[in-house]
Each structure stands twice: as structure tokens, then as C-alpha cells.
Structure 1
Amino acid sequence: MAADHPPVSPPAKPSVEQPVPALPENLTQILSRAVGTGQEEVISFLCNPQVWPHAPASVEILETHMSLVFFAGDRVYKIKRAIQLKHMDMRSLAARQHFCRREVELNRLLAADVYLGCASVTRAPDGTLAIDGEGEAIEPLVVMRRLDTSQGLDQRILQDRVSAAEIDRLCALLSNFYARQPPADISGEEFLAIWHEIVGRVRTSLTDPRFALEKHLVDPPITLLTHFLETHEQMLLDLVDHGRIVDGHGDLKPEHIVMGDKLLVIDRLEFDDRLRMADPFAEITFLGLECERLGAPWIGPRLIDGLAQRLGRRPPDELLRFYRCYQACLRARLSIEHRLDPSPRTPDRWPRQTRDYLMRALPSAQP
């Protein structure tokens, strides 16, 4: 893949021998989980500060479910993990190239000066690896400007440094984004089929006997979701008919919102276009739920009120209740399914997190 990010001047050649840089402390664990993917060599290569054109002092690596993120000085580089999940296959180079390009394309709408473009790890004929060097492109990279993580909405909430005025600014930004998005190219029948499919996945996972989740936590929200789909199909069809389902963000978490003088929203979901097709109030409900988990329950209602005022509509309470219940159950499902990973990270975390989400779904599931 040809580079499409601003060029970086190579560092000056050192006049004395440089010390061998320290590698990230978590590299061994990450490499153990990468065995069999074919990415082990690339991961080790990218962890060496000396290979980067802009010569960072050190490199840190963060592992997520979908990606490996390398923090190198004032830049961030991201590779897609060569994995296959139920509804996504990143094992081929072509797929990873496609989704790197797609991530940059989608996120430039809300954070143009953060997503700088794409680059590649290349292999020269003699086997030498380089970043955007000569030879074959063997691994695509998303290139980003490094942001101040202390300005993330999640960190600001934990530090009790979020004001109502800042949330109103965020609401205005999101409202403008949603208002500019064209209606999703989907029929009412297709939209209903998606809801039945994704609620069915939630039901199957949360009732899987391998997870042994308590019935008193699982049954009430699953009953609410199932009953809503059986009795409120027309309400969902009306959303499509009135053009209220748009191409949204897809993963609107507090850590994907950067506060400060210029508000930024990053990490718009790229790997499944259908997962971005949403009522803006469904995405805002999820953001409010995550803010509540961090200790700011006041943010969700304020966002809903602000969005309703700016978009000129407010969904019925039963629809908002359905959205919250579904979002909590979805996150419970995604949490507990980490138990099925061959080498799950922090395995003790997932059952606790699953039960926390289900407890938050329960108030929405009461008659």
C-alpha cells in the first residue's frame, strides 16, 4: 500500500553508537497471542524505536480486540489483527488493507486532522523490513496524530472535570453530524430483520450454559427485548420511513471523545457498515450508559434532551427504554464472549463486567 500520509524526514545519522532501546513490557504476552497469525515479525519490528523515520524515544503498544496500536512519539500507528471473528475475517492482507483505508476514510469526517493516512511495512528483496520502504507491502498501517489521552471524556469523568456546557458543545457537534448524514440505504423489512438477528445473538450468547449467567439477571431484559420486537414493529418501521436511520458512528464510547478547545470524535466503526446504521438516539443512549458506568449518570439524560431539541424530535419513552436495555445486553454479550478467546486478556474481568451491564439493563426491563 502506498503511503498517503505527510512525509517525515529521516533522523540524522548518529555520530556515536546508540544504546539498544528497551522493548515494551507487554510485548511477550502480545506475541504469544499472535502466534499463528503471521504477524509476529511485524509486531517485533514495529516495537523497535530505531526503525521509525521520526526516531521516537520509545514505543508503547496497546492491544485491543481488533487492533494493535503503537504509540511512537507524536504519532500513533495501528495494525489490524489477523484474526477471524464470527462476523469478520481479517486474516488476509487484502482485507486488512481495505479496512485500514476504510477507517481513515470514515474518521476524517469527525477528526480530519487526526487521521493522517495509511502506510505499510515493506519487505525488501533481501528480507529487510522498513516502513514505506522498497519491496513488497506486507502489513498496512493506519497513521494518526497522537492525542492527549487525559482529555478523553472517560478520563475527564473520572477526574470530575466535565461541565454541563462541555456536554452541550458535544451534543451540538453530534447533532450537526447526524443531521448531515443521509438516511441509510435500507428498507423497513431489512431493518427489522437486523434487529431480530442482533437480539437473537444476544439471547443465544447470554443464555449459553457455558457462561452460567444467573437467570434473574438475563431473563428480564431478554424478555423486554423480545416483547418489544413483537409488539412495536411499526415504531421501528416508522424510523426508516421518516429517514431517521443514518450512517452513524457505530461505537460511541467516552474514550472515543476528546474534549478541549476542539472537540474530536474518533474510532468510528469501519468493519461492518450495518453496525453504523442507527437512530442517533440509540448511539446517544449507549454513550450515556458508558458515562453512567464511569460515575456521571447526569450526562445521558442531558445528551438526550439536547439531541431532541436540536433534531426537533424525541423518541417515545418505550423506545429509549428498549435502546438502553439492548445496549446494556449487547455489551454484556461482548464481554462474556471474551471467555471463548483462546488466550483471553484479563479473564477474571469479563464475568464481572457482564453482570454489571446486566444489572444496568434490569431497571429498563421492569414493567
Structure 2
Amino acid sequence: MEIESQEELGPSLLRQLKESGSFGGGDCDLIETHISWVVLAGNRGWKIKKPVDLGFADFSTLELRKHFCEEELRLNSRLAPEIYRRVVPITGTVDQPQFDGSGEIIDYAVEMQRFPVGRILSEMIGTTQVENRHFETLAEDVAEFHQSVSTAPADSRFGSPEKVWTPVAENFEQLKLRISEEHSLKVLARVEQEAEREWQTLEKLVSLRKQEGFIRECHGDMHLGNMVLLNDRIRIFDGIDFNEELRWIDVICEVAFVVMDLEHRGMSHEAVLFLNKYCEETGDYHGLRLLSFYASYLAMVRAKVAAIRRTQQSEDDQEPDRKEILPLMELASSYFHDRPRKLILTFGLSGSGKSYFSQHLVGPLRVIRLRSDVERNRLNEAKQLGENVYSSESKEEVYRHLRRCAESVLRGGMSVIVDATFLDPEQRKPFFELASEMGCELVILQFDAPGSILKKRVAQRQQDGNDASEADLSVLEKQQREFQPLSETESPFAVRVDTTLDRKDCVEKVVSEIHRGG
């Protein structure tokens, strides 16, 4: 006998499953959403989908609930296999149900491993248990995930400009029905105008992204409330199984959700660390042009959810717009505002500390870092360089590639630091031109260290074998022979970095000088 209504399932089936010991005995905690029940008992959890059809989610038949339980297991096992265990049939009758029995199947549940209380990332913000390294590792995991999942065919319905813009426009209309304070309505109108204006410049890029294969079967709901810290690693759970449109999206839209959620929680430092590492892992710097648009849209979706939640509360419990809705709309608007951008170049021999210090400048300066060693290896793997990756021709191609990526970052509204030797004035010239074209400030970080220290660092790096740089002592010696100091016209843009000083003090000094210059 199939369950036909949630009125029948809720008060009866769950109670009978508990009384039969199906949940393992002991205390049970019930979490109810508009589309499911989750029962937590012992070290297990069971998620049962409500027999409802809400339009965007249809679980109205037994076959549909089975299908979406199987989809939930398939999709979430990609990112959290240790949490999602199996789909288990509920057999028997509503009065005498049991898991995986021999009787008639009346429903299905997704069985999960229960994780400890207080480990949800959104609840851990501000604690010492969550560190910068967790967000960089998260970026690596998300990058690997995005590179492994299925890609939407170019002729599929997913990811077209119409599919991207329609929910954005609908979200504005839905918000207009749910907020009433005059200032909030003005902010809403401003964000809508900004989004429409920005969309006019992005529509062709959205089409191109689809053709280039960036529409993929993503998680679909990647925010901190769906992340848990387990065994010192962030795991992502509760992806969207019930609506294909919400998970077949541009990968940069999914990244934007994480960035927006972190920034909304006052974690801009962690947001840029996550974003920088993701871009370094994937090379998708060109996608940054869309990041602000998607981040703004997702902030407005959050505002709508908050508005809906408020309408479900009693008048006495309702918070004013300014408590949650207005800050989200202001955040959404901020993504369309021009921010001062900097184009920062490193200048120094191999072993002078460029990579170490540029990495430690990412968070404080909120910049995206481009590493010539990483991008050289990426081009080499793609067979875009000659046999000798350090030949003049290969070097020229690497610097052309770095300039293209830097331009993408700047057009995305962010500052960028290009970590390369830049020993040849001809290598620096295109970046001076780029800064002029983009109307952004140019800074040259001039790294200094004695020759003996340079040799020691390069030799140690070669011995360790865990760095992207392949420069050895012979490369260093060649650089020393061909070294040309900055010209008189370039020197005014330089900030000297003495990497023999205390590293923390040196980083703070450089950050202070760059901010003072800007």
C-alpha cells in the first residue's frame, strides 16, 4: 500500500517506525522541511521525502520518491560518500512498517551517517576550529569535483541565456510581493536596474560559457549551511536532487554561492582564499567576469528566502527588513559597484621569495594570484608550449597567457598579483599597457635577497620537489647574467621587499605600503 498523503505519513508512519525499533531505539530527533522529514537516532539518520507536489519538487508517487531517493544518494555520494550510505525500502503497512523487510514496499528512505552536533560550518564561524587552510582544501575539492562531473551538451536546455536570466527576473518580482518598507523597496529597485544593466554586457559570455562546456551537473546548493567539518576536512552534503535546472549550472555560479555566503558572514579574507585557490586549480580565470553577477543573484535569492520565512512568522516574531533582508540586498548591490583595482607584478630572481610572499598577500590585499610556474605547467600539459618550456618562445607564450588571465581578473572587478620573474622589460611592458587600458593602479614588488640565499633556496626547493617551479641553479645563474634593473620610468611603481627580514613583519610592511599608495 503506497503512502498517499503527508497527513497519513507524518503522524503515523514515523511513530510506528520508532515504536518498532527501526531507528535503533533510544531518543529520536525529527527535523521537518517543506519537502522531507529527517529522523536522527544514534549514529544514523534517515531522510524520507514527503508525498507532495510543489511544482519545483514532485514526490507525489512512490515511484517518484524512489527515483529521487536514488538521485539523492548518487549525487551526494560524489562529495560526501562517508555520509550517504544507501536507499532503504520501508516495507509492511503504515501501522506495522519496517526498514528493508519482506513485505510490500510502501515508501523509501535515504540512510545516512549522522555527524556530530555543532559541526555544521555555518555554526562554526568565528571558532578557532575553522582555519584558512580548510577553505583552501575546500577549494581544491570543489575544483576536482567540477572537473569530474558531467558536462551539459551544447544543445541541451541547461545554461542558455534565457535559463540564466529568467530566474533572476522572477526573483525580483517575487521579492516585490514580500517587502514593504520604503527604503528596502528603493534598494530592491536599484539592484534590479544594476542587474539588468550588467546582464546586457554578459549575455554573449553566458552563451560562450555553455559552448565551452562550463555548464555541468553541480551540487546546486553549495553554502556553509550544507557543509560539515569532519575529520579536519570540510564535506559538502544535501545537494539538489529534485530539480535539474538548479544543479545543471555554470561552475562559476556554484563558486559564487560559496564566496557570497562567506562575505555575507563577514569572512571576505576566507572568501578570496577560497576563490584564489579554486582558480589556481582550474585555471578558470575567465569565469570571474560572471562571478559578481551570480553572487548578486544568489544574495537576492537569500533575501527572498528570508522574506518568505518572515511571512510564515507571527507579526510579533517578524523582524524588520533591516535585520536580514536589507543587508543581503545591500550586499547584492555591492557586487555591481566599481572597486579600486590593482595590477601587482613581482620582480626578482628565482629564490627571492616571490611565490611565498605573493601567497601571503592574497588574503590581506584581497587579490587573485597568477603564478607563472603553475600557468606554464598548465600550458605545457595542454601541449601549448614547445619542447623546451624555458625557451624564448615558450616564455613569450606564458607571459601572453598571464596577461590574458590578468585582464579577465581585472574585468571581473578584482585586483590581481602576477607572480613571475619579469626580468625582461619587454615582459613588463604589456602589463603597463594593460593597467593603463583598465584604469587601475600598477605596483611592482621588487624582491631582493643575497646571491648565497638565492642559491640555497633554489637548491632546497629542488630537493623538496613539492613546488610548481622547475627552475634549478642553472636557470638562476642565467637569470643573474641577464638581469636588468627597473628603468627610471618603472622605479616609481616599485615597492622593495627584503625577504631576509622576518616574514610576518615583511608581509605587513608590504601590505601597508601598497594600501598607502592606493
TM-score range, shorter chain: 0.7 to 0.9
2:199 is aligned with 1:229: yes
2:228 is aligned with 1:258: yes
Residue in 1 that maps onto 2:254: 283
Residue in 2 that maps onto 1:330: 301
2:149 is aligned with 1:178: no
Residue in 1 that maps onto 2:286: 315
In structure 1, stretches of 5+ residues that fail to align are: 2-33
Which among 120, 133, 137 is matched to residue 169 of structure 1? Answer: 137
Which among 60, 64, 67 is matched to residue 95 of structure 1? Answer: 64
Contact 1:37-1:91 within 8 A present in 2 as well: no
2:29 is aligned with 1:66: no
Contact 2:12-2:95 within 8 A present in 1 as well: no
TM-score, scaled to structure 2: 0.58
- What's the Cα RMSD here? 2.8
**CA deviation after TM superposition for structure 1 residue 243, in Å:** 1.2
CA distance in structure 2 between the partners assigned to 1:72 and 1:271 by the alignment:
25
Contact 1:336-1:350 within 8 A present in 2 as well: no
**CA deviation after TM superposition for structure 1 residue 317, in Å:** 5.4
**CA deviation after TM superposition for structure 1 residue 145, in Å:** 0.7
**CA deviation after TM superposition for structure 1 residue 276, in Å:** 1.0
1:96-111 → structure 2 map (5 Å cutoff): 96-111=65-80
Contact 1:250-1:269 within 8 A present in 2 as well: yes
Residue in 1 that maps onto 2:496: none
2:122 is aligned with 1:154: yes
1:29-68 → structure 2 map (5 Å cutoff): 36=7, 38-46=9-17, 48=18, 50-53=19-22, 55-68=24-37
CA deviation vs aligned residue, 1:38-92 (integer Å, no higher than 9, x gap): 433123334x3x4234633210111234321111101000111233324222232
| 2:150 alignment partner AA | P
Contact 2:256-2:292 within 8 A present in 1 as well: no
Q: Which moved more, 1:77-86 or 1:248-257?
A: 77-86
CA distance in structure 2 between the partners assigned to 1:353 and 1:90 by the alignment:
31
Residue in 1 that maps onto 2:108: 140
CA distance in structure 1 between the partners assigned to 2:196 and 2:297 by the alignment:
10
CA distance in structure 1 between the partners assigned to 2:262 and 2:273 by the alignment:
12
Contact 1:187-1:240 within 8 A present in 2 as well: no
CA distance in structure 1 between the partners assigned to 2:25 and 2:309 by the alignment:
33
Contact 2:215-2:250 within 8 A present in 1 as well: yes
**CA deviation after TM superposition for structure 1 residue 164, in Å:** 1.5
Which among 235, 240, 243 is matched to residue 272 of structure 1? Answer: 243
**CA deviation after TM superposition for structure 1 residue 144, in Å:** 0.3
CA deviation vs aligned residue, 1:204-256 (integer Å, no higher than 9, x gap): 10122x54253222112212222232332111111112112211110112132
CA distance in structure 2 between the partners assigned to 1:317 and 1:136 by the alignment:
52
CA deviation vs aligned residue, 1:247-280 (integer Å, no higher than 9, x gap): 1110112132222345422112101122112222
**CA deviation after TM superposition for structure 1 residue 192, in Å:** 1.0
Give the structure, 1 or 2, with the largest relative contact order (CA under 8 Å, sep 6 or more). 1
Between the two proteins, the alignment pairs up a number of residues equal to 329
Residue in 1 that maps onto 2:393: none
CA deviation vs aligned residue, 1:74-131 (integer Å, no higher than 9, x gap): 100011123332422223222222111110011111122221111133234x942222
CA distance in structure 2 between the partners assigned to 1:189 and 1:106 by the alignment:
20
Q: Tell me the secondary structure at the aligned position of residue 238 of structure 2.
A: coil
1:122-137 → structure 2 map (5 Å cutoff): 122-124=91-93, 127-137=95-105
Q: Which moved more, 1:163-172 or 1:187-196?
A: 187-196
In structure 2, stretches of 5+ residues that fail to align are: 339-518
2:189 is aligned with 1:219: yes
CA distance in structure 2 between the partners assigned to 1:227 and 1:188 by the alignment:
27
Q: Which moved more, 1:51-60 or 1:301-310?
A: 51-60
CA distance in structure 1 between the partners assigned to 2:156 and 2:90 by the alignment:
44
CA distance in structure 2 between the partners assigned to 1:39 and 1:56 by the alignment:
19
Structure exhibiting the larger radius of gyration computed from Cα positions: 2
Q: Tell me the secondary structure at the aligned position of residue 271 of structure 1.
A: coil
CA distance in structure 2 between the partners assigned to 1:91 and 1:350 by the alignment:
36
Distance 1:116 1:181, change over 3 A: same
Q: Tell me the secondary structure at the aligned position of residue 84 of structure 1.
A: coil
| 1:132 alignment partner AA | D
1:16-27 → structure 2 map (5 Å cutoff): none
